[in-house]
Structure 1
Amino acid sequence: MRWGDLNNSTNGMKEVLIIMFVEWILVLFFAYYLDQVFTSGSGKSPFFFLKGFQKKPLSSFGKPSLGKQGSKVFIQMDKHDVSQEREKVEQLLLEPTINQAIICDNLKKVYPGRDGNPDKLAVRGLSLALPNGECFGMLGPNGAGKTSFINMMIGLTKPTAGTAFVQGLDIRTHMNGIYTSMGVCPQHDLLWETLTGREHLLFYGRLKNLKGSALTQAVEESLKSVNLFHGGVDDKQAGKYSGGMKRRLSVAISLIGDPRVVYMDEPSTGLDPASRNNLWNVVKHAKRDRAIILTTHSMEEAEVLCDRLGIFVDGSLQCIGNPKELKARYGGTYVFTMTTTMDHEKDVEAMVQQLYPAAKKVYHISGTQKFELPKEEVQIASVFRAVETAKRNFTVSAWGLADTTLEDVFIKVARDAQAFETLS
């Protein structure tokens, strides 16, 4: 047989090849259908292909609902500050203003369940407005959805519902325009090990349309700002950098080219105290004329850098406000600590209960006890008098009275939110 023999009607080979091709297509679709229906553990309904034609139920926001898992979002009433932020976003969408760098409108992200597992709601209806010149800190436990939120904002993943506007551009349709005014410091360093720090910044500077002397100056200023300019570090391959040096280079990359919006996902991870303090100064200087969204597990960093904080638990914001507001709202207690011998633990407890009947013991180990005292009842002078009296009656190794810290607020909000989720 030769190719020219296909036109010979006597051998029938042309018809055989056509039949084989048609059968191949039909059997391919049939095999795919059987694989979807009879797969062990995650088999679909025999009519799964008809689901696309069914009408999706609308949620109270006029958008497709997220099913049973998503309904939990609306069981829990929004806190007052979160509701205010949502109302602010709705007002800004009606009357847009150029002062707002980022507007998130009911942003949701759901990862479909596989192998019989339920869907995972990573972000549940987040609404947020961020003006230019503000650093917004996102606090939350591991797995709360902070990185998923940032991945949607930078275009790595598509939102399941809702949208966000960056400098007036929609992340669903105008991501190419957003890239030109955006800087990102990811949670994990994305560096080429064979390139030097200077070469990284030259590359990313060109992406931001910097050229000639402007590019050279921007690279040198970036290297100096993160303390990578001296000692030949700038011309050293990134593969030979320490973990802290890589983080500093990632921060420098996120800020080169004067981006209007910057996302920093745990930028100070792995830095020594001196480098971390230097990095904070860089971020403080950078936020003057741009919007920054920063995630961190360092409460000290959040207080130093962030104008506003949002505590993010299980995919939703639990509270929004500046650090002082949050401490006043959720930390209406002083923490009184006293260490004695184990024989006098009951004496300490009796002393505190006599002073403040509403006091609550929150910690107890080997003679050290901690009590939460309601701020409205506490008179610091009376605490000092009680301690001086106690010292005359038994040995007091150490004692202290401390105001609520941001870490206490974070733990309290996260614990309450997770307890509610367990109940619901």
Structure 2
Amino acid sequence: MLGLRGRYESSNNVTNYPSWYVTGRAFDLILSPGQLNNKTDTILPLETFLTGELPSCSLLQIDKHNYNNYTISVKFLYAPNNTAINIIMKNIKRRYTSKNLIEMLKDIPDVDPQIFGNLTLNVKCEVIGFSSEKKLESDLSISFQHQCNNSLLAGIVFNNSMLFDDLTDLSTIQYKIRLANTKRRFRDFAQSIQPWDTTQLFSILAFSGPLDRSYMTGGNPGYWAEGFLTIQHALHLSIMDYFENVEGNVTNDILRGRVLKLKRFPFPPYSRKIIELGVLFLPTVFAFSFMTSVVYIVRNVVMEKENRLKEYMKVMGMHSWVDWAAHFFGNYCKMMITVGTITILMHYITENTNVLIILIFVALYAFTATYFALMVSTFANSGTAGFCPQYNTLVEQMTVMEHLKFFCKLKDRTWNIVEAIQLLKQLKLETKANNFAGSLSGGQKRKLSLCIALIGGSEIILLDEPTSGMDPSARHEAWTLLQREKKNRTILFTTHYMEEADLLGDRIAIMANGKLQCCGSSLYLKNRYGTGYRVVLVLNPKSSRDNIEKLKDFLTRLSDKITIQSVVGNELTFSIPPDEKSRFSYIFVKLEEKQSVLNVESFGVSATTMEEVFLKVNNIAESESGIVTVDNAQVLSSLNKLRECQNVDFLNGTELYIHQSKALVISKLLYYQAQLKQVLVQIVVPVLYMALFVWTATTFPDAQDQVPLIIDYKNYDTVDPANIYVNSLDEHLPQYASSVVSQWNPYTVKKISYVANNLTMANMTTILTNKCKNVRVKTIIM
């Protein structure tokens, strides 16, 4: 639009239009308003007769006899059918019948028939009467189904006062002019036929300046081009001829001053702005400006669910409606920027509209376009739990310190920045306090999640593998922090690190095959499921098989409760049960005495670990559930037998395609059986949409009769007062101006002001026109 600014924007003075004659005769069909070379507003296009090319769709029926001889057919229907009305309609027929229309143009003032050359135009008029309006409407409806090249111009219906043959009172006469239900000459920008709108008295000005400024007759809805004005004037004169009992002709009309001269009302000075072009695209831009916001809102909601941030905050004590309200108000505040921008633009387009009304309207539109269903609930209780899930539920656009502050207030706890800094220092995250969460490494994100669970002094802490993804150094830092914090909190955490469970857990629960197998302190579980103390003997590399057997015999003689666990290379491992703890000194002394004889280089002892306890509990659970451990040798034997099997002949060609198709069908059927609801939606919804489209296509609204528009000679009433300011030429001019305007609008002119002492009658029209632009008056007589 900026590129069109220099071409579109302009300042214009008072717009005056030329006048033209309305005769109420056949001349009106070809006379052009204003200048004769303006072929735009004629009822029948003059180029049809000057070029000899008949249009494909003409308002009336035109018959071409030769290159310069044409006949125009005009037909009127009327009701009711009696003597008086027949005489009036014969006068109508006489007015629209002409054997040589061009020759008779010499009787019309300011019209030169020589511009038509040797053109011959004959006009043939036909009037048909009906006994009732209902029969007339039926014939009109059938005839007007053909809009093009139809000689029928209008139907005329007289009121009940004209049912009698003898008419005496002119004031009681009323009539209806029934044109086609749609305009036959005027098209919109898409060249589609538009109906008459008799409910709207004045057109809406979408742009500055006069409406349809290129049309001398006022343009849309086309009272002149559709033939309404000439028919109305012809009826008026025909009724007058009936009461005066004269036969009207062109000469008598001119001599008696019955030729009407019309002129479009002048328009005051105006300026055109490029912003007016935006009005055409405003509804589309208005709708799409909020559609993009909806896309981003949906993306944010989906991303939050994907990161499981919503569930994380619900554990902290937040209710669902608070989360939805945050989405709503957060995005609505962003939309207020768009709302404010549109309001400013609309203010310059609609200068007479209150800015507050525009703002409220646009805000309500944005509200409804992005409305979320909010469930009203009670306020969330104070959060007493801290939660660190297995996944990192972090907002990448927030910093580390903002995370701690946000979740601390989410728990309804007092924000203490000293506490936050201490937590970060304990985990060596103080240097990342102002960094965005999206820039942290995996281990640092786990540290931040752990800090979020601990911030605010939550009494209950739930940790799901809090140290997963951390390096050994960071893991030990987390252990130190948890050991310090568990004094004043209740901490429940899950882990796969048995060392972590042994170090931090006061009570340890072991799950296997989805079931809780045991629960107790570390010492209790080791005593219950442990193998006691494990002793590892390192043998001399030169030791033989016999030396190992001698060593086993020696150990069993020391205690019959010693169990040999494994012999791997030069290492022999055996276990001593806890109840043999009193014999440890004796066993180790004997080992030292026989160390050289038994070829033992060194030996060490260790207690049972939690890993051993876990493995033993897992084996017990598998044995109880019927899970059998298969030996590797058995697996290798089975594989060898499979290799010895004969080769299988594979399908190919058509059989392969049939087999694959059958497999796909079976797969789909099994899927449909498992996802029955989804399949029903996929099948039923398209069928319902198709049925809806078919139903919509068959329920287009039919053509409806327009509301009658009554035309009378009453003053146009308005509640808007008009203030007319004129310059004073003499003491009589203000009274003259007041009487001129009040003659047509006696209720609108409230004040005449003296603003200067200089005025000429020449600019009187301009002043009245400028000051009366908001007052709807019928005419100003000077």
Q: What range describes the TM-score normalised by the shorter chain of this pair? A: 0.5 to 0.7
Query: Conserved in 2, the CA contact under 8 Å of 1:337 and 1:371?
Result: yes
Q: 1:401 to 1:296 in 2, by over 3 A?
A: same
Give 1:277 shift. Answer: 2.8
Pairwise CA distance, 1:177:
5.7
**Residue aligning to 2:404:** 201
Q: 1:244 maps to which residue? A: 443
Report the count of equivalent residues. 253
- Conserved in 1, the CA contact under 8 Å of 2:595 and 2:601? no
Q: Does 1:371 align with 2:570?
A: no
CA apart distance, 1:209: 2.6
**Counterpart secondary structure, 2:579:** helix
Say if 2:612 is the partner of 1:413. Answer: no
Does the alignment pair 1:397 with 2:601?
A: yes
The 1:377–1:218 alpha-carbon spacing in structure 2 relative to 1, beyond 3 Å, is closer
SS across alignment from 2:596: helix
Aligned to 2:584: 380
**Alpha-carbon distance, 1:244 to partner:** 2.1
Judge conservation of contact 2:535–2:574 (CA < 8 Å) in 1. yes
Aligned to 2:519: 320
Q: How far off is 1:243 after superposition?
A: 2.5
Deviates more, 1:272-281 or 1:254-263: 272-281
Shift of residue 293 of structure 1?
Answer: 0.5
Question: What's the counterpart of residue 346 of structure 1?
Answer: 549
Is 1:225 paired with 2:429? no
Q: Distance in 2 between matches of 1:299 and 1:176?
A: 41
Q: CA deviation digits over 1:353-407, x for unaligned, max 9? A: 2222333222221121211222323511222223223322143233112222222
Q: Give the Cα separation in 2 of the matches to 1:393 and 1:183.
A: 61
Shift of 1:236: 2.0
- Alignment check: 8 A CA contact 1:205 1:219 kept: no
For each residue in 1:103-160, what CA deviation from the matched residue of structure 2 results, as whole angstroms up to 9, or x when unmatched? xxxxxxxxxxxxxxxxxxxxxxxxxxxxxxxxxxxxxxxxxxxxxxx99x959xxxxx
Distance, in Å, in 1 between the alignment partners of 2:560 and 2:515 is 36
Partner of 1:306 in structure 2? 505
Equivalent residue, structure 1, for 2:745: none
Over 3 Å counting, the alpha-carbon distance change for 1:319 and 1:242 in structure 2 is same
Could you give the per-residue CA deviations for residues 29-61 of structure 1, whole angstroms, max 9, x where no partner exists?
A: xxxxxxxxxxxxxxxxxxxxxxxxxxxxxxxxx
Q: CA deviation at 1:420?
A: 1.0
Give a deviation string over 1:158-211, Cα, whole Å, max 9, x none: xxxxxxxxxxxxxxxx99967822211111222233432112212222312346
Partners of 2:501 and 2:508 within 8 A in 1: yes
CA contact (8 A) 2:382 2:412 kept: no
TM-aligned CA deviation for residue 225 of structure 1: 3.3
- Amino acid in structure 1 at the alignment position of 2:455: I
Residue type at the aligned position of 1:276: R
Counterparts of 1:5-24 in structure 2 under 5 Å? none
* Conserved? CA contact 1:345–1:367, under 8 Å: no
Identical residues among aligned pairs (%): 31
Q: C-alpha distance in 2, partners of 1:271/1:241?
A: 13
Query: Which one-letter code corresponds to 2:469 in the other structure?
Result: G
1:69: which partner in 2? none
Larger Rg: 2
Is the counterpart of residue 356 in structure 1 residue 559 in structure 2? yes
Unmatched tracts of structure 1, length 5 or more: 1-149, 156-173
Residues in 2 aligned to 1:403 and 1:209: alpha-carbon distance in whole angstroms: 46
The one of 272, 276, 279 aligned to 2:475: 276
- Is contact 1:335-1:403 (8 Å) kept? yes
Deviation readout 1:278-312 (Å, 9 max, x if unpaired): 32232223223332111122233223222211112
CA distance in 1 between partners of 2:379 and 2:385 (Å): 10
**Is 2:537 the counterpart of 1:329?**
no
Quick one: distance in 2 between partners of 1:272 and 1:178?
37
> For residues 538 and 493 of structure 2, what CA distance do their matches in structure 1 show?
38
Asked if the contact 2:526/2:609 (under 8 Å) is kept, the reply is yes
Unaligned runs of 5+ in 2: 1-310, 317-376, 629-782
The answer (yes or no) to whether the contact 1:198–1:223 under 8 Å persists in 2 is: no
- Contact 2:400–2:433 (CA under 8 A) maintained in structure 1: yes
Say whether the 8 Å CA contact 1:331–1:408 is kept in structure 2: yes
Matches within 5 A, 1:25-424: 154=315, 180-210=383-413, 214-229=415-430, 232-331=431-530, 333-340=532-539, 341=541, 342-343=543-544, 344-378=547-581, 379-422=583-626
**Distance in 1 between the 2:623 and 2:520 partners?**
22
- Stretch deviating more after TM superposition (291-300 or 276-285): 276-285
Equivalent position amino acid for 2:449 in 1: S
Q: Distance in 2 between matches of 1:374 and 1:182?
A: 42
Matches of 2:526 and 2:388, distance apart in 1: 28
Structure 1 contact 358–373 (Cα < 8 Å) conserved: yes
CA distance in 1 between counterparts of 2:379 and 2:616 reads: 41
Contact 1:351 1:386 in 2 (8 A): no
Q: Aligned partner of 1:391: which letter? A: Q
Contact 2:531 / 2:575 at 8 angstroms: preserved in 1?
no
Q: Does the C-alpha gap of structure 1 residues 356 and 200 become closer, same or farther in structure 2, counting only changes over 3 Å?
A: same
TM superposition score normalised by structure 1? 0.53
Deviations 1:64-99 (A, max 9, x none): xxxxxxxxxxxxxxxxxxxxxxxxxxxxxxxxxxxx
Offset from partner CA, 1:333-360 (integer Å, 9 cap, x none) = 2212112135132222222222223332
Whole-Å separation in 2 of the counterparts to 1:316 and 1:176: 37
State the TM-score, normalized to the length of structure 2.
Answer: 0.30
Cα 1:221–1:401 shift into 2, 3 Å: closer
User: Displacement of 1:263 after TM fit?
Assistant: 0.6
Q: Do the aligned partners of residues 376 and 210 (structure 1) sit closer, same or farther apart at CA in structure 2, a change above 3 Å counting?
A: closer
Contact 1:247-1:267 at 8 Å conserved across structures: yes
Contact 1:339 1:369 in 2 (8 A): yes
Q: CA separation in 1, counterparts of 2:495 and 2:381?
A: 24
Contact 1:310–1:319 under 8 Å retained in 2: yes
- Distance (whole Å) between structure 2 residues aligned to residue 246 and residue 238 of structure 1: 7
User: Which has a greater percent of strand?
Assistant: 1
Asked if the contact 2:396–2:437 (Cα under 8 Å) also holds between the matched residues in 1, the reply is yes
CA RMSD in angstroms, aligned pairs only: 3.1
Q: What do residues 229-286 of structure 1 show as CA deviations (whole Å, max 9, x unaligned)?
A: 1xx3212222332322111111001111222211111112233344323322322232
CA separation of 1:178 and 1:262: change in aligned 2, threshold 3 A: farther
Q: Which of 1 and 2 has higher RCO (CA within 8 Å, sep 6+)? A: 1
Counterpart amino acid of residue 188 in structure 1: Y
Provide closer, same or farther for how the CA distance between residues 178 and 302 of structure 1 changes in structure 2, counting only shifts above 3 A.
farther
Equivalent pair of 2:551/2:598 in contact (CA under 8 Å): no
Aligned to 1:99: none
Equivalent-residue separation in structure 1 for 2:378 and 2:503 (angstroms): 31
Q: Which amino acid aligns with 1:418?
A: E
2:595 partner amino acid: K
Distance 1:208 1:377, change over 3 A: closer
